[in-house]
Homo-oligomer: A and B are copies of this chain.
């Protein structure tokens, strides 16, 4: 494709692929797209190893990293340790999780594990420092306005900083804060997402920021035809995540892949029950337990909800993989509504190739609709 964005990033096709898996990142970059490693779950030394592996694999081709440094979180500015934060998780919530496990024939662990505060914003700076020792060509922040140090680091080194937004008001704030690339993400997206659909939020954001920076469309995009539709609307390209979860390179657990291949677009739910902020994931008895109903429970704020839930969800996942029925009913995974269109495991390179072919066919279709 020919576009200012392709020139800026040195890529052939403006398909941005978010993944927690280095193999996917490298495969997409090597196929002419742009891989972005989700870095939040890594420790600084792990991240360093992952990025070194990618550097070797892509031979100078461009890739980026995605951090989640929320603008608002419990304990912000209080310099709390992980155990200080853990102390803020009420006993009633711990009991609730235990009851939910027992109801699914899973005995709670005698010593409760509380997860790391990676969504507290406290670890972002260290991870960024590690990333900057590698030739990253994009720094993305997936939740809220990036902290000043991130924007400054990008400006100093000439590395564009991207931010994900779910509403036009947020896009305007992000541009004012100095962000170089907006990812306008619809409610159909996997993971954290807003309420507005991609088809509406993309033109709203484009109108609101009026060309100040390029806009990538995100949310529900798992095919080239959808990407082409978004480029017709004025997006500079697509930001994707879910579609890579069922690639050969992904480290998604086999039972999760099976669930995703079988899922229709109606098998996801937007719920705050995993991290404390609304995020889209596979519907399960875990997500049911956090629905806003008479029996439901208001999730805790970032990062407390994920500190409470992540270790349990990971344990559930291990049991589910072993065939435990209660665990399989509870198991969930971040994924968007596009899961309804994900029906086959493929190599990531093949997904990129199909995106390009499908994009070209879509452009033909639109062109053929014109008279003469």
Chain A interface residues toward B at CB < 8 A: 1-3, 167-169, 186-188, 194-201, 203-204, 207, 219-221, 223, 225-226, 228-234, 264-266, 291-294, 337-338, 340-341, 360, 362-363, 365-372
Distance in angstroms from A172 CB to nearest chain B CB is 12
Residue of B with least CB distance to A206: B225
How far does the alpha carbon of A64 sit from the alpha carbon of B206 in the complex, in Å?
A: 34
Determine the chain B residues whose CB is within 8 A of the CB of A264 once the complex forms: 167-169, 204
Looking at the complex, which one of B186, B207, B229, B291 makes contact with A233 (CB distance below 8 Å)?
Answer: B229
How far does the alpha carbon of A228 sit from the alpha carbon of B187 in the complex, in Å?
A: 21
B203 touches A196 (CB 8 A): no
Can you show 11 pairs from A to B with CB atoms below 8 A apart?
A167-B265, A167-B266, A195-B265, A196-B337, A199-B220, A200-B340, A203-B225, A203-B226, A225-B234, A229-B232, A362-B366
A363 touches B232 (CB 8 A): yes
Beyond A167-B265, A186-B197: 7 further Cβ-contacts under 8 Å? A167-B266, A187-B187, A188-B200, A199-B219, A200-B338, A363-B370, A366-B366
Determine the chain B residues whose CB is within 8 A of the CB of A291 once the complex forms: 292
A231 touches B365 (CB 8 A): yes
Distance in angstroms from A3 CB to nearest chain B CB is 6
How far does the alpha carbon of A356 sit from the alpha carbon of B219 in the complex, in Å?
A: 26
A360 touches B365 (CB 8 A): no
Looking at the complex, which one of B234, B293, B340 makes contact with A293 (CB distance below 8 Å)?
Answer: B293
A225 touches B221 (CB 8 A): no
Distance in angstroms from A344 CB to nearest chain B CB is 12
How far does the alpha carbon of A187 sit from the alpha carbon of B196 in the complex, in Å?
A: 10
Of all A-B residue pairs in the complex, the 4 with the closest CB atoms, nearest first, are A229-B229, A188-B197, A232-B366, A232-B362
Looking at the complex, which one of B196, B231, B234, B337 makes contact with A200 (CB distance below 8 Å)?
Answer: B337
Determine the chain B residues whose CB is within 8 A of the CB of A372 once the complex forms: 2
Determine the chain B residues whose CB is within 8 A of the CB of A234 once the complex forms: 225, 362, 365
Distance in angstroms from A182 CB to nearest chain B CB is 16
Distance in angstroms from A12 CB to nearest chain B CB is 9
Instruction: With A2-B369, A232-B232, A294-B294 as known contacts, state yes or no: A223 contacts B203, CB within 8 Å.
Output: yes
Instruction: With A197-B220, A199-B198, A370-B2 as known contacts, state yes or no: A340 contacts B233, CB within 8 Å.
Output: no
How far does the alpha carbon of A366 sit from the alpha carbon of B337 in the complex, in Å?
A: 25
How far does the alpha carbon of A292 sit from the alpha carbon of B337 in the complex, in Å?
A: 22
Determine the chain B residues whose CB is within 8 A of the CB of A201 once the complex forms: 265
Determine the chain B residues whose CB is within 8 A of the CB of A340 once the complex forms: 168, 196, 200, 204
Looking at the complex, which one of B169, B200, B225, B232 makes contact with A341 (CB distance below 8 Å)?
Answer: B200
Instruction: With A2-B370, A293-B292, A369-B3 as known contacts, state yes or no: A220 contacts B232, CB within 8 Å.
Output: no
A1 touches B371 (CB 8 A): yes
B199 touches A365 (CB 8 A): no
Determine the chain B residues whose CB is within 8 A of the CB of A229 once the complex forms: 199, 228-230, 232-233
B199 touches A221 (CB 8 A): yes
B363 touches A367 (CB 8 A): yes
How far does the alpha carbon of A291 sit from the alpha carbon of B294 in the complex, in Å?
A: 11
B341 touches A203 (CB 8 A): yes
Determine the chain B residues whose CB is within 8 A of the CB of A188 once the complex forms: 196-197, 199-200
Determine the chain B residues whose CB is within 8 A of the CB of A203 once the complex forms: 223, 225-226, 341
A228 touches B366 (CB 8 A): yes
Instruction: With A292-B293, A293-B292, A363-B369 as known contacts, state yes or no: A219 contacts B197, CB within 8 Å.
Output: yes
